[in-house]
Amino acid sequence: MIQQKDNTKVWFITGTSRGFGRVWTEAALKRGDKVAATARNLDSIADFKENYGENVLTIELDVTKPAQVNSAMNQAFDYFGKLDIVLNNAGYALVGTIEETKADDVKALYETNVFGPLAVIQAALPLLRKQGFGHIIGTSSNLGQVTLPVIGYYCSSKWAFEAIHESLAAEVAAFGIRVTMIEPGAYATEFGSQESLKAAEGMDIYADFKAEFVKGLGTMDRGNPHATPEALFQVVDSENPPLRFFLGDQCLPWVRKDFAERMATWEAWESVSNSAQSKLV
């Protein structure tokens, strides 16, 4: 166990080999925090140990293996003596229409995007309760609030992710544990790389539709991931952190428009909905 300063935060972060996970890990270390950095391949994060010494603990971790998750969490807690922030970041996208994507591909997506974070949460909670504080953070997406075609299963994994975290927040508040979902918009990370994206076997009938969709994605403005750490630090340093936090300037306008349309539809059908609520005699 290493000695801690009172104002030094200790992070446990999954998926630190690339993307937001790497950016946030390095930023936390640069500001003087300590990090248990996890990745499936230790070679991909070896530079953290070389550059930051005992302030970082690198751990091999596949979040789809619950026993490995429990071991990693306890190893981090024993090494640092506490865990202030548990950040679930590991995940990937699945490209394919609803019809053409095989069930096994969807199950694999959920193993990483839903059951993996769940294993991390369940491993962390006994330790956070024991110490009487902690902040569980999940990297969600603005697609946890709205959806797009062709990546509908990815969107669905984030909707499930958000429901789990919202329920969790109510369940653990009495233990001094806080919960936040980080919801990024489009950023220039490696999210579209072969390691972060899988594609279903295509059907010809959707080829043109998917080609147009991919073309549209290519024209989207993408934020700089290195501009995000200060916003994240404001969240983790807050006495009253939000349950949901949009990252970037694209999210709120899109969600505001989508929710307005939902409300308009519900209100237009309100009388029909109410007619189904007859009283029991």
Reported as a single tens digit per residue, the pLDDT across 52-109 is 999 999 999 999 999 999 999 999 999 999 999 999 999 999 999 999 999 999 999 9
Kindly tell me if the per-residue pLDDT of 40 is higher than 60: yes
What percent of the chain shows pLDDT beyond 90? 84
Tokens of 229: 């750490």
Q: How far apart are CA 126 and CA 262, in angstroms?
A: 39
State the pLDDT at residue 197.
Answer: 67
Domain presence at residue 191: yes
pLDDT value, residue 193: 47
Q: Establish if 70 belongs to a structural domain.
A: yes
Six-digit token string for 239: 């006495």
pLDDT of residue 6: 57
Domain that holds residue 235: 10-271
Establish if 3 belongs to a structural domain.
Answer: no
Length of the chain: 281
Q: Is 167 noted as a catalytic residue in this protein?
A: no
**Residue 113 pLDDT > 70:** yes
User: Is residue 276 assigned to a domain?
Assistant: no
pLDDT exceeds 70 at position 1: no
CATH number at residue 96: 3.40.50.720
Asked whether residue 47 is assigned to any structural domain, the reply reads: yes
- 281 is a domain residue: no
pLDDT at 262: 97
Per the CB < 8 A criterion, the answer to whether 87 and 137 are in contact is yes
> Catalytic: which of 9, 34, 158, 210?
158
How large is the average pLDDT for residues 19-28? 96
Q: CA torsion 255→257→260→264, rounded to 10°?
A: -130
Domain count, the chain: 1
Lowest mean pLDDT segment, chosen from 64-68, 134-138, 189-193, 266-270: 189-193
Amino acid identity at 271:
S
Known catalytic membership, residue 141: no
Is the residue at 158 inside a domain?
Answer: yes
Residue 2 has pLDDT above 80, yes or no: no
- Give the closest residue to 8 by CA, choosing from 47, 45, 48, 54: 54
pLDDT recorded at residue 5: 47
Q: Are 73 and 65 in contact (CB under 8 A)?
A: no
140, 141, 156, 157: the active-site residue: 140
**Catalytic residue status for 140:** yes
* Average pLDDT value over all residues in the chain: 93
Looking at the predicted structure, is the pLDDT value of residue 196 above 60? no
CA distance 20 to 184: 10
Range name among 7-21, 147-161, 211-225 with the lowest pLDDT average: 211-225
Q: Which two structure tokens, joined as six digits, stand for 12?
A: 């446990």
Q: Let me know the angle formed at the C-alpha of 198 by 197 and 199, rounded to the nearest 5 degrees.
A: 125
Determine the distance from the C-alpha atom of residue 104 to the mean position of all C-alpha atoms in its chain, rounded to a whole number.
22
Q: Which of 82, 154, 156, 157 is catalytic?
A: 154
| The dihedral formed by the CA atoms of 187, 191, 193 and 199, expressed in degrees to the nearest 10 | -120
pLDDT of 279 higher than 60: yes
Quick one: average pLDDT of 15-37? 96
Contact 177, 129 (CB under 8 A): yes
* Residue 202 reports pLDDT greater than 90: no
Q: What is the pTM of this model?
A: 0.92
Residue with tokens 């980080």: 182
DSSP state of 245: E
CA distance 279 to 246: 41
Residue 5 is assigned to a structural domain of this protein: no
Residues 6 or more apart in contact with residue 57 via CB below 8 angstroms? 34, 35, 36, 37, 75, 76, 79, 80
